[in-house]
Amino acid sequence: MGTVRNRVARLVDDKIVRISGRVDPHKVGFRAPANIRVTIQPPSLVEQAAAQIAEFPEVSYVALISGEFDLEVDVLCRDQSHLSSLITGRLHQVPGVTKVHTDMVLRVYKLADPDLNLVHPGRVPDAAKG
């Protein structure tokens, strides 16, 4: 058992693995999960805007994306009123935010951790070795 404990401790220390629980948002009271795409102008404000948006407690994910929008933001809100106030009251106040497109999440069909075999098929990552 000590070997497994040591391996897990090393993975956590190396920031390869993070131990956390995953909850079903609807079962714990989040009735308005949403995916928001955001345009930032000028482009020089993207990093600053992303950092500010990432601080919102409702935000679970922020990423720079390619395509029509600059950022993808996933949020968990109590209800539509909460989502509306987040978008109009805070998100639109972030310097550089010029356009917001919101899609409500109606149902999640899959939520998974990454399959590390896709990175290096058939090879165990060095950090995961004993």
> Residue 81: what pLDDT?
98
> Residue 129: what pLDDT?
60
Indicate if the alpha-carbon torsion angle 109, 114, 120, 125 is positive or negative. Answer: negative
Q: In the beta sheet, which residues pair with residue 97? A: 40
Cα distance between residue 35 and residue 75, in whole Å: 6
Cα distance between residue 33 and residue 104, in whole Å: 6
pLDDT digit string (tens) for the chain, length 130 residues: 578 888 888 888 998 888 887 778 888 899 999 999 999 999 999 999 999 999 999 999 999 999 999 999 999 999 999 999 999 999 999 999 999 999 999 988 888 877 878 877 777 666 556 5
> Domain coordinates of the chain in residue numbers?
27-104
- Torsion-angle region of residue 67: left (phi > 0), alpha (psi -120 to 50) or beta? left
Cα distance between residue 54 and residue 74, in whole Å: 10
Q: Which residue's structure tokens are 């989040």?
A: 30
Tell me: domain 27-104, CATH 3.90.1150.10, correct? no
How distant is the alpha carbon of residue 3 from its chain centre?
A: 32
Model pTM score? 0.79
- Tell which residue, 80, 75, 69, 72, has the closest CA to residue 31: 80
> Residue 19: what pLDDT?
85
Cα distance between residue 37 and residue 51, in whole Å: 15
> Residue 4: what pLDDT?
85
